[in-house]
Amino acid sequence: MPRMAGLTAGVDLGGTKIQAVVLRNRATVGSSRVPTPQGGADDVIAAIVQAVRDSLSQAGAAAKDLRGVGIGTPGEIDADRGEVSLASNVPGFVDPPVPLGPQVSRKLGRAPVHIDNDVRVAILGEFKRGAGRPYRNFLGVFVGTGVGGGLILDGKLREGRGAAGEIGHAVVKDGGRECSCGRHGCLEAYAGRGRMEVRARELVRKGRKTDLFRIMEKKGRTRLASGVWEEALEKKDKMAEELVDEADRGRPRRSPGNVLRRPGREGHGAAPVRAGAPTDDPDHGAGRLLGRRGRGGAGRRLSGSAGRRLAGFRATGP
């Protein structure tokens, strides 16, 4: 039986949540958002499949109607094999490689599945339809459970050996805080929400006071999601302010523009753009997936100290 025309699914896999959408002729007709299971790869794959099925149900469709599925996932990607590895924030996705594409395809009626690094596809979305449209050269950085980056040069998304533009595991402090990858001093160890939460729990065990975990419980969360940090900062929670300031101090001091400058273009590479900021296309690219209007996501403008601390993406160009 032919698959329903124009019906595709997109999945954003993260260390904290899985979000799926189903599109028909570029319009969203179903969506689902679930916490990322912490048990292992099989549980994560089952949650992805269920999120897609729930989105299809909202659209009045089924797996047999899918033309294809795209998945953005942390980690290093073997697109030809559909495998993911070294995704330290997703349980069971480090080593050996996980055949994410083939397994999801098998559970969704053999629908074609394409996978790529989550930040690379987000950057591609910004380049095609969002904040990166005015530029041919820019570095995009997304901060979530971890820290990821993507690189557009001469109007093309660069993959390198599978991790071009990824700055989360660049060492910014020799012998520094332990990272989820097992090394010490990575940028992600200071600026990724996952390691910030680990540090917050360590401080609580040492007797420090904070409202972070009370806010987490009030919101029905099991992790310190972005909305939890936002509310804590708005309430001027001392530990939240301290940890976000540590994240700021942990960032690399070299400007990304220094990496992107080309001969004869000295001085270019400093035009800041925020992902999820208003554009003439409010549903653009990654901003649509990552910017949850009115719920504390990347697309919401914050006021006061919270806004200054949670300012996110920066693009450099032209």
Listed range (85-89, 128-132, 174-178, 281-285) with the worst mean pLDDT? 281-285
10-53 tens-digit pLDDT: 999 998 899 999 999 889 999 999 999 999 999 999 999 999 99
Indicate whether 56 and 84 sit together in one domain.
yes
Which structure tokens are listed for 142? 């997304």
Cβ(100)–Cβ(119) under 8 Å? no
Beta-carbon contacts of residue 274 (< 8 Å; ≥ 6 apart): 131, 311, 312, 313, 314
Q: What average pLDDT does the segment 294-307 reach?
A: 32
Q: What are the strands, taking DSSP E only, across the chain?
A: 7-13, 17-24, 27-35, 68-73, 76-78, 83-85, 113-117, 138-143, 147-153, 156-158
Query: In this structure, are residues 285 and 129 in contact, taking their beta carbons and an 8 Å threshold?
Result: yes
Please indicate, yes or no, whether residues 149 and 295 belong to a single structural domain of this protein.
Answer: yes
255 in the same domain as 165: yes
198 lies in the same domain as 298: yes
- Local structure of residue 78 (DSSP, 8 states): E
pLDDT at 166: 79
Domain that holds residue 162: 121-309
| pLDDT above 70 as % of the chain | 76
Q: Count how many domains the chain has.
A: 2
Would residue 186 count as lying in a domain?
Answer: yes
CATH code of 284's domain? 3.30.420
**Residues sharing a CB contact under 8 Å with residue 42, sequence separation 6 or more, in sequence order:** 92
Q: Are 34 and 51 in contact (CB under 8 A)?
A: yes
| Structural domain contains residue 180 | yes
Q: Mean pLDDT over residues 193-202, rounded?
A: 94
Residue-wise pLDDT for 118-156, tens only, equals 888 889 999 998 999 999 998 888 888 888 888 999 999
Q: For residue 25, what is the domain's CATH number?
A: 3.30.420.40
Summary mean pLDDT of the chain: 79
In a domain, 314, yes or no: no
Same domain, 136 and 189: yes
Q: What's the confidence (pLDDT) of residue 279? A: 34
pTM for the predicted model, two decimal places: 0.67
